[in-house]
């Protein structure tokens, strides 16, 4: 598999996989938009201050 960055940052590379199916599976995973899973993979404790601030703002109104 050969890849390049669509955003033009110059990143790219080449990797050999054991089968065509493996290469397709990895290509599909790399092609996925990160925004689709936004919030699902977020750490619970890392977002705690934002959640608390949001709750306090709602309580004031």
pLDDT at 34: 60
Task: Kindly report the average pLDDT of the chain as a whole number.
Answer: 77
Backbone angles phi, psi at 49, to 5 degrees: -60, -40
**Do β-strands 2-4 and 12-14 pair in parallel, antiparallel, or remain unpaired?**
antiparallel
**Domains of the chain: total:** 1
Identify the pLDDT of residue 52.
81
* Beta bridge mates, 13: 3
Given pLDDT bands bounded at 50, 70 and 90, which one contains residue 53?
confident
Instruction: Kindly report the pTM of this predicted structure.
Output: 0.39
Tell me if 59 sits within 8 A of 52, measured CB to CB.
Answer: no
- Residue whose token pair is 């934002």: 50
Domain span holding position 25: 2-60
The pLDDT tens digits for 15-26 are 888 888 988 888
């Amino acid at each position: 598999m050969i890849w390049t960055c669509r955003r033009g940052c110059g990143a790219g590379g080449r990797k050999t996989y054991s089968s065509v199916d493996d290469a397709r599976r990895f290509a599909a995973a790399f092609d996925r938009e990160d925004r689709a899973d936004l919030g699902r993979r977020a750490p619970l404790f890392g977002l705690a201050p934002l959640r608390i601030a949001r709750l306090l703002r709602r309580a004031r109104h």
